[in-house]
Structure 1
Amino acid sequence: MHRGCAGPSRRQFLGLLGVGAAAVLTGCAAPAAETPAPAVPPPPPPLPPVPAAAPGASKVIFSGPTTGGRIVLTVDDGTCADCVAGYADFAVRTGTHLTFSPNGTYAREWQPHAAALRPLVAAGQVQVMNHTFSHKDLRKLPEAKIREELERNDEWVVSTFGTTTRPYHRPPFGFHDATIDGVADGLGYTRAVLWNGSYSDSETVTPQFLMSEAAKYLKSGVIMLGHANHPTVLGLFDQILALIHDRQLTPVTLDEMFGTSRAVGAAV
């Protein structure tokens, strides 16, 4: 006859008490404790669908309003892999709002950081504007090639960061004319972004020089030009941020400064 789990004898009972095996009193082993599943972080907010182009009249932007303490920190190019990594880490680590102006020709330098930057793009902390695919002087190109440079770069940005660059573009070297503006306008790039402050780091500079330029230009309303091309800036992020905080400035994206939206790729 089946008797289920057999109970222990008196001698077994005393021995089991000595080793604390109370669970065996009934002759049945206690179930093993379940290991809790690791916490899963919430997914980033979804990126809006890429909107259709909204052609319009061109506007050249050099600066923002000089009241309110807001500044736009822009970062061009991306020839230096360590520099791109440094700027991506700076954005993640500090929560500073940045506007990147990368060229798709440097996709190898940007791709390793796409996963880290996409949630920041979705949250509105990071913006990406069009700086053309190859960083060529657009004045020397026919209209078809100008169009190709802008369209190809936007396609790369969408595939890499999940967002359109419209309505902002920065012509390489700041060079633009009526032909360039006309092509850009027709593609929905109605805001040509130049700058009124710079670290002057398109070439290698010393840390002292870069910080002197930062001290000169980081003021309310500035659109600051920086580059992810040379490693000097890598040791200066905290000093730059401290200067910004000391002057009670607030870094914002172009969208935040000028009331535009990735959701529609135009002014709202």
Structure 2
Amino acid sequence: MRTEAQRSAPARRRAPSGDAGTTGNSVRGMDRRRFLLALAAGLAGTAVARGATGLGDAVTPLPAPAGPVVPASALEAVAPRGVPGLVPVPPPVGVVDTLPGEGTSLALSIDDGTSTEVVAAFARFAEDSGVRMTFFPNGRYASWQDNAPALRSLIESGQVAMGNHTFSHPDLTTLGDREVAEEIRLNQDFLRTTFGVRDSPFLRPPFGARDERTDRIAADLGHPTIAMWNGTMEDFRVLTPEELMTAARRWFHPQTIVVGHANHPAVTTVYGELLELIAERGLRTVTLADVWATPGQRVRGVTAGGTVLTG
């Protein structure tokens, strides 16, 4: 059986050589952002490590930062005014692990949600920065109910999308057909009752563990697209802020689907640096629903090929 580290590794793309575009401490001395100060003040909760079979022991949380800063140019790059998003195409049947075509899109996708404080920080980060992202929650964690009001408004606006990550985060390949279906259905019910999300085509199997059988069951239940990844924040384990930024510099590239986790507080201390990196590399954040349409979705904006559509 593969380890958690192996399953969290990108599916196809190898790391590029070098770290062009690193940010270092260049954000210091620029204008501070209120949302980052608020995040820095409120994250003293206990982090929980996720192991290959579930959750590990509680670990000592990282100290709150003194207050990172975000350049205005970074905010403008990730939250362009007047551009609602790419025009999505029908979701494919089968596995996707990269964004289609050529472009400058970056899909940030956040899994699990063991920490109420970290989920809250991601919601504030999205609201105050305009960053677009896709969450893959496990309904067993109270963090999502705790933060449902803030997330619902982001979902309704289209800035945040949701996908199914199963209810209790099992390795689906170890379960029988009925158990696989139950895990998916329970999380569908959770997404519908908590966020009003009814028709997400995306399933992300926990640990990336999947096969033709589990894919077929997911498709039969309304999730034809198995959303994998080709970049990772490498935060399936507890990392320092510096290690997180090393991973971001390695994997934040055009047309990449990056997987991260709403489990450990270190990520909440580097939001400013992440925004600056996105801006430096000329990337634009998208949700998976910006790229692949969900049923009943109204779309307007610019297609991946550059065609302008309105309506």
Deviation of residue 219 (structure 1)?
0.5
Deviation of residue 218 (structure 1)?
0.3
Within 5 Å, give how 1:144-223 maps onto structure 2.
144-164=178-198, 166-223=200-257
1:91 to 126, 138, 149: 126
Within 5 Å, give how 1:1-268 maps onto structure 2.
58-65=93-100, 67-106=102-141, 108-164=142-198, 166-258=200-292, 260-263=293-296
Deviation of residue 164 (structure 1)?
2.2
Residue by residue over 1:222-252, the C-alpha shift from the partner in whole angstroms, topping out at 9 and shown as x without a partner, is 0000000111101011110110011111100
Change (3 A) 1:198 1:168: same
Name the one with the larger helix percent. 1
Deviation of residue 263 (structure 1)?
2.4
Residue by residue over 1:172-204, the C-alpha shift from the partner in whole angstroms, topping out at 9 and shown as x without a partner, is 000101110110111111000010000100110
Unaligned residue ranges in structure 1 (runs of 5+): 1-55
Distance in 2 (CA, whole Å) between partners of 1:231 and 1:62 is 26
Unaligned residue ranges in structure 2 (runs of 5+): 1-90, 298-311
Runs of 4+ with deviation above 6 angstroms: none
Asked if the contact 1:131/1:153 (under 8 Å) is kept, the reply is yes
Asked if the contact 1:77/1:101 (under 8 Å) is kept, the reply is yes
Residue by residue over 1:32-82, the C-alpha shift from the partner in whole angstroms, topping out at 9 and shown as x without a partner, is xxxxxxxxxxxxxxxxxxxxxxxx983100000352201110000001121
Amino acid at match of 2:104: G
Figure out how many residues of one structure are paired with residues of the other and give that number: 207
Residue by residue over 1:78-135, the C-alpha shift from the partner in whole angstroms, topping out at 9 and shown as x without a partner, is 01121111101101111111100000010x1111221111121111100010000000
Give % identity: 39
Deviation of residue 166 (structure 1)?
2.4
SS state at 2:100 partner: coil
Asked if the contact 2:116/2:146 (under 8 Å) is kept, the reply is no
SS state at 2:140 partner: helix
Change (3 A) 1:68 1:57: closer
Considering only CA atoms, is the larger Rg found in Structure 1 or Structure 2? 1
Distance in 2 (CA, whole Å) between partners of 1:165 and 1:136 is 22
Q: TM-score, with normalisation over the residues of structure 1?
A: 0.74
Distance in 2 (CA, whole Å) between partners of 1:120 and 1:81 is 17
Distance in 2 (CA, whole Å) between partners of 1:57 and 1:230 is 32
Asked if the contact 1:72/1:99 (under 8 Å) is kept, the reply is yes
Larger RCO (alpha carbons 8 Å, 6+ apart): 2
Asked if the contact 2:116/2:147 (under 8 Å) is kept, the reply is no
Q: TM-score, with normalisation over the residues of structure 2?
A: 0.64
Asked if the contact 1:76/1:131 (under 8 Å) is kept, the reply is yes
